[in-house]
Amino acid sequence: MSVPGAWYLALAAVVFAIGAIGLLVRRNVLVMFMCIELMLNAVNLTFVTYARMLDDVGGQALVFFVLVVAAAEVVVGLGIIVSIFRRRSGATADDLSMLKG
């Protein structure tokens, strides 16, 4: 028998926690976006592991949809980042206080 699924799930939990910490700690908007991708990948790994443990194709189909949504999210998010930082310098999230009342 191959590696038990619990190891994969623990690894995915650790990667998710690293991504969450990075999202909270980093101030560069692009790196924060990469941390979101880390968390998405951790969840994808969880889905594939559950698909294997439960012997079900549904988990893998869900990962397919997560990939599509992640691609759309990256396109729109990077478009927003480009449109914001084309008219102002700096790339830290602290500089984005335009909506402050």
Partner 1 sequence: MIDWAVFSVAAAAVLAGALGVVFSTNPVHAALMLVMTLFGVAVLFVAQAAHFLAAVQVIVYAGAIVVLFLFVIMLLGIDKAENLRAEPLRGQRPLAFLAGLGVLTAVLMLARGAWVSGAPSQVATLSGPGSNVTKLANALFGRYLLAFEVTSVLLVIAVVGAVVLTGQEPAAEPTEPEAKSTEPGAKLTEPGAVEVTS
The reply to whether 63 sits near partner 1 by the rule CB under 8 A is yes
d(CA 68, CA 54): 24
Nearest to 43 by CA among 15, 71, 65: 15
- Looking only at residues 12 through 31 of this chain, which bind partner 1 when binding is defined by CB under 8 A? 13-22, 24-28, 30-31
Exactly one of 89, 97, 100, 101 binds partner 1 (CB under 8 A); which one?
Answer: 89
Q: How far is the CB of 101 from partner 1 (least distance, A)?
A: 19
| Pair of tokens at residue 99 | 């909506």
Let me know how long the chain is: 101
Closest approach, Cβ 43 to partner 1, in A, equals 11
